[in-house]
Amino acid sequence: MRRGSRKPGCHALRIAAWTGLWTALAGCVGPNFHRPAPPAAERYTEEPLPAVTAAGNGPGGAAQRFLAGTDVPRNWWTLFGSADLDALVEQALHANPSVSAAQAALRQALENTAAQRGAYFPDAQVSFDPSRQRNAVGVLAPTLNSGTALFNLFTTQVSVSYVPDVFGANRRQVESLAAQAEASRFQLDATYLTLTANVVTAAVQEAGLRAQIAATQRVIELEKEALAVLRRELELGAIAEGDVYAQDAALAQIETTLPPLIRQLQQTRDSLAALTGRLPADLGPVHFELEQLQLPADLPLGVPSQLVERRPDVRAAEAELHAATAQVGVAIANLLPQITLTAGAGSTATAMADLFKAGTGFWSVGASLSQTLFEGGTLVHRKRAADAALDQAGALYRLAVLTAFQNVADALHALATDADAMSAAGRAEEAARKSLDVVRHQLELGSVSYLALVNAEQTYQQAVIALAQARANRYADTAALFQALGGSVAPPGGAT
């Protein structure tokens, strides 16, 4: 009685032990992914920046305000106030091949994830095998009871196999593929953001180049006028011949600055054509001038610690880190025993009409457990490779975070200095314009020569060129800030 009373308890302990072991083995092996904590940053720059930049006179000289805690508005490029720019960005989002490629990559990643989920279910196959056979009845025992040498054999069978995901290898693989699909989704967002920023920057560059070209052409005209004046004075014997040569050299030097500007303008327009998915010859008559663009006065900065949530490249790097973490689990599960369950049922007969009749059926049920004992270190090295890939993904994620904060800090420093440069260029332009007005008045009074007027206007046009460069830099760096902050972009036409 004593021994009999102890048996049920021991049996229950064994069941509990096996149940606990099976439950432990049935989980997913490998590390679980945990999102990295965002940097505890209170600002983007080493020193706090003023809330408002410097202001200057004229278009594009208004002060810009940095709004902490405010998110970048959706379709941020509309803040530049140009309908032509809005239309060009919309065309780029619909027609640029990089968008189509990123969308296709996302669809591919989603389909790969869905395909891997199919491994959760048994694999069932049906087969039908007809054959014509001849037996060596004089040597071997006959296959058929009749002893006929020639016969037909028809076999139909349904086979089912199932690999239980005991250690979570398939679940980890699905997890990895789902994370890669998430990375593709963020890479698509990054494509939208980069494309729109490139279009805005190219449009700003075109506008700035047009202003510089116009001012440079005016300076060349003035230099030619000055050269003509000096040549007349040389004929009258009023000046030395060396003065004419000096002016001719100055004219040639100014003329050398025009072709590079024209080349940059042409290449910028070629870039705009490619960005909008068109050939350079098909860009159309759209042109951009600085007067068409408005300077966004309010610059939302969001919360620094949330930058990693807004930057699609950082989110993509995080998803790649998630995928690499899951791959470590896959590599570990491949080191453990593999279980396969199989079953089959069918019928075989010498005539099609006899299939599935009594006596022709067969079936089988089986299971196998396999454990690799030696494979030359392949699985071990794959596990180590997965660990190295995880380390690499972690480093790339940290690099993406550092780059994101650097981009924002660089853009903020650029905008602060751009405002100062714009203010100085505006003052220089205003002073040169006033000086030109004074010289014109003096020329009317006869107190200065025409050459003095030409020189004053040359100085003014050079100031105009510098002011155009300062304005273009300020617009371009504003677009760079929106991009660095992970500016929101609405997908074209509701595309995925």
Domains of the chain and any CATH numbers: 35-120+171-328+382-494 (1.20.1600.10)
pLDDT in tens, 130-142: 999 888 777 766 7
**C-alpha to C-alpha distance for 489 and 93, rounded to whole angstroms:** 10
Contact 91, 272 (CB under 8 A): no
What's CA 355's distance to the chain center, in Å?
Answer: 60
pLDDT in tens, 114-123: 999 999 999 9
Contact 156, 127 (CB under 8 A): yes
**pLDDT tens per residue across all 496 residues of the chain:** 344 444 444 444 444 443 344 444 456 788 999 999 999 888 898 888 888 888 877 788 888 999 988 888 888 999 999 999 999 999 999 999 999 999 999 999 999 999 999 999 999 999 999 999 888 777 766 777 777 888 888 999 999 999 999 999 999 999 999 999 999 999 999 999 999 999 999 999 999 999 999 999 998 998 888 888 888 888 888 778 887 888 888 889 889 999 999 999 999 999 999 999 999 999 888 899 999 999 999 999 988 989 999 999 999 999 999 999 999 999 999 999 999 999 999 999 888 888 999 988 999 999 999 888 888 899 999 999 999 999 999 999 999 999 999 999 999 999 999 989 988 988 998 899 899 899 888 877 878 877 888 888 888 888 989 999 999 999 999 999 999 999 876 666 545 4
* Among 306, 89, 110, residue whose Cα is nearest residue 192: 89
